[in-house]
Amino acid sequence: MCGRYTLVTFREQLAEEFDLYEFESFESRYNIAPTQRVPIVRAGEGSGDRELAMFKWGLIPHWAKDPANGNRMINARAETAAEKPAFRSALRRQRCLVPCSGFFEWKALDAVSGRGKGSTKQPYYILRSDERVFALAGLWDRWQSPDGENVGSFTILTTEPNELMRGLHNRMPVIIPREGYALWLDHRMQDIERLAHLLVPWAPDGWVAYPVGTRVNNPAFDDPSCIQAVE
């Protein structure tokens, strides 16, 4: 599962990483939570050029009758997304990149200290060792309300954990390498089998994970203290 992440980056680094030209500035985020509107990168619906768009985290299928369904669709399992009605169309035609500086996962303290299953979980922050921005694999859709309001939303794909993540959780977000951005964003590519090599656990080399304070548990806190290491 991926339930919280960060986006702390300079405009120049974001433009370079994702080949973006013109986009609106936004503030760094240290505790992005589901239902919030955050940047995604997708192929433009007209030109096909990459664009940065603000979408809601929690995918609302275009056919949904209740937009609250999106609150439960923050993640999609990469292994089964092609079979699920909520995700299979987006997997073929509406893929996106979710710019990310790091993500959080929670480890049960009983696994750390033997203090019992009712103990508070310890949050960990996972990021690249060079602290550069990277891309999570996402799917997007647009939902229209009865009064004509258009809501853009997305979900983050997850896969089996790598060696670094295995001790923290049984899932991890799918991370798309830079050389795979063009293929992932190409809506003309609808052969899911040709995308399978991207939907695998990322090699753990060049990544770090460290414990942080429990402020990140509350989405009301969104500041550098959320990623500050603790003993």
Catalytic residue numbers, as ranges = 2, 105
Q: Measured between alpha carbons, how far is residue 206 from residues 105, 126, 198 in Å? A: 18, 11, 18
Order of strands across the sheet that contains 29-32: 29-32, 5-7, 102-108, 121-128, 207-211
Distance CA 214, CA 229 (A): 11
Q: How far apart are CA 100 and CA 127, in angstroms?
A: 9
Q: How many residues does the chain have?
A: 231
DSSP string for residues in 84-124:
-TTTHHHHHH-EEEEEESEEEEEEEHHHHH---TTSPEEEE
The two structure tokens encoding residue 109: 């303290």
Is the Cβ–Cβ distance between 61 and 69 less than 8 Å? yes
